Amino acid sequence: MKHLILFTLFSGALLLSSCNCNKPETQQRSATPEPDSALAAHVITAAEQAALTPGKVLIAFKEGNKRFIANRLTHYNFPDQVRKSADGQYPEAVILSCMDSRVPPEYIFDKSIGDLFVIRVAGNIIDKDILGSMEYACKESGAKLIIVMGHHHCGAVKAAINNVKLGNITGLLQKIKPALDRSSNFDGDKSVKNDRYLDEVCLNNVMVSINQIKAQSPILKEMALKGEIKIVGALYELKTGVVMFLE
């Protein structure tokens, strides 16, 4: 419940800060970070990755999401980037996202080839293979930031609430059950018809994944404690394209 209150306050503040309804067009445009033309054919290098901090990467992701919302994405030169990235990769972050077709990480953060490790699975759940992938991304490949990104109206979360039992989906939904337990004190209708409840479970599902990363990966936990990486949660709002970071 505490998270829902924080989330509600934060999303309210975001809505207020993103509402430019009464501002002239020129002011609206100046508030949005410009697409960086220098990035269009650039691929991150080992030296550039080494110079990054988790905080700097997080700021860049927030700015990329602002460009996405404003429809001012960088016009990447993919053939150039393909050639330049062929000999190695030095991504700045790893994202664990739901597989929902409406939540494409590279677009959402205005990133391109070589920038991100993307792990996608229904309900952004954790298992050993996903933890191994994250450990590879951070410990072996130098990524500075782990983002666990859920989204509003997640079908996998809805299915877990509805206790769907079907084939291998049953086992996957079991991994979302801890988020339901974490939402057990919710005051109100605990069904998928209640958006407030659904939001709370989606949020708690992100928090469960973050806690599991820290509890089940001593490597990532130690890197986070040393400040070598940052692990943050996020929720993607389907109706606006806004990513709300849960820091």
Number of residues that bind Zn ion (CB under 5 A): 4
Q: Distances from the Cα of 124 to the Cαs of 58, 203, 236, in angstroms?
A: 19, 11, 12
Shortest Å, Cβ 219 to Zn ion: 27
160 vs 223 by CB, closer to Zn ion = 160
Shortest Å, Cβ 165 to Zn ion: 19
Q: Which residue has the tokens 């509600």?
A: 8
Closest to 91 measured CA to CA, from 151, 148, 136:
136
Shortest Å, Cβ 204 to Zn ion: 14
160 vs 213 by CB, closer to Zn ion = 160
Shortest Å, Cβ 58 to Zn ion: 23
100 vs 135 by CB, closer to Zn ion = 100
- The answer to whether the CB of 244 falls within 8 A of the CB of 237 is yes
Q: Which residue has the tokens 């089940």?
A: 216
Answer yes or no whether residue 199 interacts with Zn ion by CB under 5 A.
no
Rounded CA-CA distance 132/81 in Å is 27
Q: Distances from the Cα of 226 to the Cαs of 97, 119, 135, 219, 230, in angstroms?
A: 25, 24, 15, 11, 10
46 vs 238 by CB, closer to Zn ion = 238
- Looking at residues 98 to 157 of the shown chain, list those that interact with Zn ion (rule: CB under 5 A): 98, 100, 154, 156
- Looking at residues 33 to 72 of the shown chain, list those that interact with Zn ion (rule: CB under 5 A): none
Q: What angle, rounded to 10 degrees, do the helices at 195-216 and 128-135 form?
A: 60
Shortest Å, Cβ 100 to Zn ion: 4
Interacting residues toward Zn ion by CB under 5 A: 98, 100, 154, 156
